[in-house]
Amino acid sequence: MKTKNEMVFAEGWTQEIRTGDAERADLMSYISDTTKSLWGFRPRWGSEWIKNATLADLRQEAADLEKEVKREIELAREERARQAAEDAAHHLAYAEAMKPKPVNNRPFADLKMRLAKETGYYDF
């Protein structure tokens, strides 16, 4: 459950953002960890940017990353649902293919019946 001080880090995971003096460090940690989680690398911040970034900038960046995380979670859920439906369809097709087929010892009987229905001529 998301509270005011938690941000979604990954599906089922949140990161606490403390207020006060620790907020800046927590936001920078969240931004770094989430960027690594989403794109596989940590951001390269220059010391100038770290000094000049305001709390509002960090909050906005964290909020943007959280939106991206939620979008990725939704895409992953949709992919899992699609894969489950595909697996179920495959299972049903396989089960149908493995059913024993009825054996017909009269190979021309079916052909004779179909011709009779099409032509209307019954000689049996």
Domain count, the chain: 1
CA 41, distance to chain mean position in Å, is 22
- Does residue 123 lie within any of the structural domains? no
Predicted TM-score (pTM) above 0.75: no
pLDDT tens digits, the chain, 124 residues: what are they? 344 588 887 888 888 899 888 899 999 999 999 999 998 998 888 878 888 889 999 999 999 999 999 999 999 999 999 999 999 999 999 988 888 877 666 666 677 777 787 887 766 5
Evaluate whether residue 111 is within a structural domain: no
User: Cα separation of 103 and 83, whole Å?
Assistant: 36
In a domain, 92, yes or no: yes
Does residue 47 fall inside a structural domain? yes
Whether 116 maps to a domain, the answer reads no
Q: What is the pLDDT of residues 38-51, one digit of tens each?
A: 989 988 888 788 88
The Cα 74–Cα 76 span in angstroms is 5
Domain assignment present for 82: yes
Residue 57 lies in a domain: yes
Sequence-separated (6 or more) residues with CB below 8 Å from residue 32: 42, 43
Tell me the residue range of the domain where 88 lies. 6-98
Number of H helices, E strands in the chain: 4, 2
Q: Among candidates 14, 53, 20, which has minimal Cα distance to 34?
A: 14
